[in-house]
Amino acid sequence: MNYIANILTASRFLFAVGMVLAAPFSPVFWVCYLGGGVSDLLDGPVARALHIQSDVGATLDSAADLVFAAAIAVVVLRNVQLPAWLWVCAGCIAAVRLAGYGVGFIKYRTFSALHTYANKATGALIFAFPILYAALGLTVSGVILCVAALFSSVEEFTITVSSPILNRNCKGFYGNTKGAMNNGM
- Contacts for 95 with CB less than 8 Å, ≥ 6 apart: none
Question: Which has the closest alpha carbon to 64: 8, 3, 121?
Answer: 8
Range of the domain at 177: 81-185
Could you read off the pLDDT of 50-107 as tens digits, one per residue?
Answer: 999 888 888 899 899 889 989 988 998 898 888 999 989 999 999 999 999 999 999 9
Check whether residue 92 and residue 54 sit in a common domain: no
pLDDT tens digits, one per residue of 1-45: 778 999 999 999 999 999 999 998 899 999 999 999 999 989 989
Residues 90 and 179 in one domain: yes
What string of DSSP letters covers 43-96?
Answer: HHHHHHHTT---HHHHHHHHHHHHHHHHHHHHHHHHHS---HHHHHHHHHHHHH
- Looking at the fold, whether 52 and 108 belong to one and the same domain comes out as no
Domains: count for the chain: 2
Domain identity same for 96 and 185: yes
Same domain membership, residue 127 and residue 41: no
